[in-house]
Amino acid sequence: MSTTNRREFVVTGLGAVALSTAIFRSVQGWLGQAGQYAGHNLARPLTGALTPPAAADIDPVAHLLNRFTFGPVPGDHARVTAMGIDAYLDEQLTPETIDDGLCDRAIARFAEAWWEPLGEAYEESAEALTPILRRVTLLRAIYSRRQLLEVMCGFWSDHFNIDPGKGDCRFTKIDDDRRVIRGHALGSFRAMLRASALSPAMLWYLDGRANTRLTPGERPNENYARELMELHTLGIHGGYTQTDVMEVARCLTGWTILAKQDDGFSGKLLSPFKDRAKVVFRQEAHDDGPKRVLGHEIPAGLGEGDLDRVIDIVAGHPSTARFIAGKLCIRFIADEPPAAAVEAVAKSFSDSGGDLKATLRTLVATPEFRGAAGLKFKRPIHFIVSALRATNAATDADRGILSHLERMGQVPFGYPTPDGYPAAASHWHATLLWRWKFAIALANNRIKGTRIQRATLAKALGGDAALMASLLNRQASSIESDACLKSGDDLALLLASPAFQRC
């Protein structure tokens, strides 16, 4: 930790001492009285080696855990130190091999809505499905041992952002999350891109279902074609033109989803449950003439095959490799990623044909990643989930937690435009006051549906010094220890500190 950052910690600590009474009073009204968590006790058992980091600075194990998880839980540092970074990375890149019983229990109450056939989702309350999606997403981030999978699901959910508030997206977004995002988050980028293009939720959100050519003079709907190149593949400066947008839109005409009745775009619903929201290709609504996309000729007569030609062209384009590599480096290295790291990751992406596991291995191996410890500012979801994980909280991830995320401006699946939540730290600096309020509320069990056992946690870790090291991911300095001692609420101060705000 730099001298400047240590001074920030002291300033925060002294400020916390002076303001703690006022803050407690100001938040009491909207936090309500502390109550017992009514659900199952989902706190992890504090057993096994819980030795916290021993170095004065963030070591490579702590750095990897900070970036490739939503924050370490007690015992993570000791476990990864014992098994080695390479073995841990291998484990996380094969999430299907990891037993996730605690997470499974946390989300079990939502299993019926989560796994039901897509058509039957329309029989659910429209107001109930999005809250389920949000809670399941948070519970997985908090409790899953498949942490890299959860981090990448968050990354791709922003990349292929869909607002569940638009039309039938409220019924179809859970299916999109399950099949598109979770099904491909650590797999093939091309496969994920194709799955997204034919996702009922995406066809609703970006109007692909309305992209038809039923008459010779009908112009295609460009919405999805534009975002496909600007946001999903090449990037805004990726070298495409307006002509390319129009040609891609022509290629994708005819793909739609079955609706309750013929609305001019979709086919008639064949079955009240089985076929609702089924994706179909309507040849009579497709422009089957020749096209030219990014310099590639697409001959006439391919029909639905135009889709795969477009996916091949944009997924394999050099600009796509650079764009995806840049976003990954922003997420895992720095808001302004070093050019050398982006180049190395882009080459791996291209050479592997968009294999995301190979791409992430390359990113971790860059010197730029290894040298970026403690420099990134956590976005609100990362901050809150990391605090819950670090304190071994038992939570229902319901309104008590969601209300804090609302105040910080990052509710899961709450962003209305296709570009997803901003990645840059500058967008989130204004959330600091709400972060401090959350830290005080969590440390003092003032969040409905969430409980921590701070005395039990400190004792299991080995005392107050060990608790500080566990939360800071390094040994606390004498200045920091003194500030915690004087604060009157060391856990709240640690969670509100600049060191915990960063990863």
**pLDDT one-digit tens code per residue, 158-191:** 999 999 999 999 999 999 999 999 999 999 999 9
Instruction: Tell me, yes or no, whether 55 lies in a domain.
Output: yes
359 and 432 in a common domain? no
Cβ-based neighbour number of residue 301 at 10 Å: 9
How confident is the model at residue 10, as a pLDDT?
Answer: 44
How confident is the model at residue 112, as a pLDDT?
Answer: 86
pLDDT higher than threshold 50 for residue 213? yes
487 and 381 in a common domain? yes
Domain count, the chain: 3
Q: Which of 370, 390, 414 is the last residue of a domain?
A: 370
Q: Which of 302, 327, 349 is the last residue of a domain?
A: 302
359 and 276 in a common domain? no
DSSP state of 222: -
| CA angle, 200 then 206 then 211, to 5° | 85
Range list of β-strands (E), 260-320:
279-281, 291-293, 296-298
Please state whether 233 falls in left (phi above 0), alpha (psi between -120 and 50) or beta.
alpha
Instruction: Tell me, yes or no, whether 237 lies in a domain.
Output: yes
pLDDT higher than threshold 70 for residue 217? yes
283 and 351 in a common domain? no
268 and 328 in a common domain? no
Instruction: Tell me, yes or no, whether 200 lies in a domain.
Output: no
Confidence of residue 260 (pLDDT cuts 50, 70, 90): low
441 and 488 in a common domain? yes
Instruction: Tell me, yes or no, whether 340 lies in a domain.
Output: yes
Express each pLDDT in 344-363 by its tens digit.
999 999 999 999 999 999 99
What are the φ and ψ backbone dihedral angles of 340, each rounded to 5 degrees?
-65, -40
* Structural domain range at position 263: 211-302
How confident is the model at residue 36, as a pLDDT?
Answer: 39
356 and 330 in a common domain? yes
DSSP per-residue string spanning 69-96 = SSSPPTTHHHHHHHH-HHHHHHHHT-GG
Confidence of residue 18 (pLDDT cuts 50, 70, 90): very low
Express each pLDDT in 85-115 by its tens digit.
999 999 999 999 999 999 999 999 998 888 8
- Mutual angle of helices 60-68 and 76-83, in 10-degree steps: 120
339 and 293 in a common domain? no
Please state whether 18 falls in left (phi above 0), alpha (psi between -120 and 50) or beta.
alpha
Pick 34 or 96 by higher pLDDT. 96
Q: Which of 248, 271, 302 is the last residue of a domain?
A: 302
399 and 346 in a common domain? no
Residue 500 to residue 503: CA distance in whole angstroms = 7
How confident is the model at residue 272, as a pLDDT?
Answer: 53
The average pLDDT across 391-396 equals 97
366 and 273 in a common domain? no
250 and 345 in a common domain? no
482 and 383 in a common domain? yes
pLDDT higher than threshold 70 for residue 269? no
Q: Pairing state of beta strands 296-298 and 291-293?
A: antiparallel
Give which of 3, 32, 58, 13 is closest to 444, Cα–Cα: 32
Instruction: Tell me, yes or no, whether 102 lies in a domain.
Output: no
